[in-house]
Homo-oligomer: A and B are copies of this chain.
C-alpha cells in the first residue's frame, strides 16, 4: 500500500457565522473569524490517495490526472472565491476548516480512478490544520 499526496494552494474569502444570529452573537461565539466584512486565507490542500503500485507503469495514480481532478472539482470553485456565497459545495455549510475539509472529501471521494481517497488535509494558517480520513 502506497500513500500518494498532491499539494495545491488556493486563496479564498470566508466568514464563520450562523445566519440566524446577530453579528454580536456571532462575535461572542466566533470572535474575529465572524467579521461581517469577510477575511481570507491562503489555504494549502493536501489530497492523499492510497493504492497499490501498478506494476506496468510504476504509478499508483498518474499525478497529472489527480491534479486535474482536484483542479476541476475543487480549485476552480474555491480559488479567488468567497466560500460562503460562491462555492457550490459549501452552500448551507458553516465554512469552518473542519467543514471545508469534510466537504472537499465528499466531493472527491468517488472521483479517484486509481486507488482510493485516504485523506484530505487543509492548512488554514501555518499553525492550524485539519484532516479528514473518511473513517
Which residues from chain A sit less than 8 Å from chain B, CB to CB? 1-9, 11-14, 16, 18, 29, 31-33, 35, 37-42, 53, 56-60, 63-64, 79-82, 85-86, 93-96, 98-99, 101-102, 125-133, 135
A40–B40 contact, CB under 8 A?
Answer: yes
CB distance from A16 to the nearest CB of B (A): 7
Contact between A3 and B38 (Cβ–Cβ < 8 Å)? Answer: no
Q: Closest CB-CB distance, A48 to chain B, in whole Å?
A: 8
11 additional A-B pairs beyond A11-B125, A41-B41, beta carbons within 8 Å, are A1-B135, A14-B40, A29-B57, A31-B64, A37-B82, A38-B38, A38-B40, A42-B42, A57-B96, A58-B96, A59-B96
Are the CB atoms of B2 and A130 closer together than 8 Å?
yes
Copies in the complex: 6
Q: Cβ of B98 and Cβ of A39 under 8 Å apart?
A: no
Name the distance in Å between A7's Cβ and chain B's nearest Cβ: 4
Q: Are A12 and B40 in contact (CB under 8 A)?
A: yes
How many Å lie between the Cα of A32 and that of B22 in the bound state?
31
CA distance A41 to B10 in the complex (A): 9
**How far does the alpha carbon of A116 sit from the alpha carbon of B31 in the complex, in Å?**
24
**Contact indicator A98/B11 (Cβ below 8 Å):** no
Are the C-beta atoms of B42 and A98 separated by less than 8 Å?
no
